[in-house]
Structure 1
């Protein structure tokens, strides 16, 4: 059972399904596509629901979150500043020394292979005891 799930309410995965359905526009489609790629990259990823409504994917710690705003779907990688990003997907939250984010706007395609590589790298970083690029 996901650690954020309760026996009385929907599971985090069901809550994420609900968020995607309630958006019913390009943001729902984009979040669904990102979710599918995250799960392809790491079949052991755990979906959680935190901070009153944010989809979170975890494996050995937070891999990334999937927030939806009016103009963007934002994938925030908890330790993104320590990940190599050879394809330059990170385009937001670049000023900090911990997180990095990918803002996806309407009509923008997701580089599937590059996103999956970032997810896999985040899992390696999480499960390696925090060692990685500094």
Structure 2
């Protein structure tokens, strides 16, 4: 199970593996207090992050561009699929908007990948997604 949670929300027993998926460390959070792994390479590029700047009106464009970045770098997120298959995965983010943020897009992307990898499905192909 994949879920998204603000980094400022309290840790819960059923969070499972907690992974911070922001490029920048969140303000006011001490690294030793977070109890999470930080995968900044899975976060949107600085260029994309700055262009989007958490504006809900640009979220569709951001979502599409971020999914292309993810498709181009499976080495950044591939290990998260195993975690999600075996138990709970909580993607942590610092944004105030709980619906329009990179963690939500990443969770959706990972869920799509898990769906593609079910027995009987063909290998993943990103040919059309990188253009």
The reply to whether TM is greater than 0.5 is no
Give me the TM-score of the superposition, normalised by structure 1: 0.26
Greater strand proportion: 1
Greater helix proportion: 2
Q: Which has the higher contact order (CA 8 A, sep 6+)?
A: 2
